[in-house]
Amino acid sequence: MKIAILGGTGSIGGGLALRWAMGHEIIIGSRKYEKAELTADEYIKVLEEAGNNCTISGCANADAVKEADIIVLSVPYEHIESTIETIKPNLENQIVISIVVPMEKAGCFKYKTPLSGSAAMQIRNLLPNGVKLVSAFHNVSAKKLYMIDKKLDMDVFICGDDDKANNVVCKLVKDINKLKPLIAGPLEVSSMVESLTPLLVNLAIYNKMKHLGIKCV
Ligand X SMILES: NC(=O)c1ccc[n+]([C@@H]2O[C@H](COP(=O)([O-])OP(=O)(O)OC[C@H]3O[C@@H](n4cnc5c(N)ncnc54)[C@H](OP(=O)(O)O)[C@@H]3O)[C@@H](O)[C@H]2O)c1
Q: Which stretch binds ligand X (CB under 6 A): 88-96, 108-116, 138-146, 173-181?
A: 138-146
Residue with the closest Cβ to ligand X? 10
Q: Contact between 118 and ligand X (CB under 6 A)?
A: no
User: Which position among 18, 100, 136, 165 is part of the footprint of ligand X (CB under 6 A)?
Assistant: 100
Neighbouring C-beta atoms of residue 57, cutoff 10 Å: 18
Q: Which stretch binds ligand X (CB under 6 A): 48-56, 134-142, 152-160, 162-170?
A: 134-142
- Cα-Cα end-to-end distance for the chain: 31
Q: Contact between 204 and ligand X (CB under 6 A)?
A: no
Q: Contact between 10 and ligand X (CB under 6 A)?
A: yes
Nearer to ligand X, 122 or 197 (CB): 197
d(CA 26, CA 16): 10
> How many residues are listed for the chain in this entry?
217
Q: For residue 34, give every residue at least 6 positions away whose Cβ sits within 8 Å of its Cβ, in sequence order, or none.
A: none
Q: Which stretch binds ligand X (CB under 6 A): 63-71, 96-104, 172-180, 185-193?
A: 96-104
* φ, ψ of residue 129 in degrees (nearest 5): -60, -35
Q: Which stretch binds ligand X (CB under 6 A): 41-49, 76-84, 121-129, 177-185?
A: 76-84
Q: Contact between 12 and ligand X (CB under 6 A)?
A: yes
What is the side-by-side order of every strand in the sheet holding 55-60? Answer: 55-60, 25-30, 2-6, 70-73, 95-98, 132-135, 155-160, 180-185
Please report, for residues 86, 136, 160, 171, 203, the alpha-carbon distance to residue 164 in angstroms, rounded to integers and kept in the order given: 26, 15, 10, 11, 34
Which residues lie near ligand X (CB under 6 A)?
Answer: 7, 9-13, 30-31, 35, 74-77, 79, 82-83, 99-101, 138, 141-142, 197
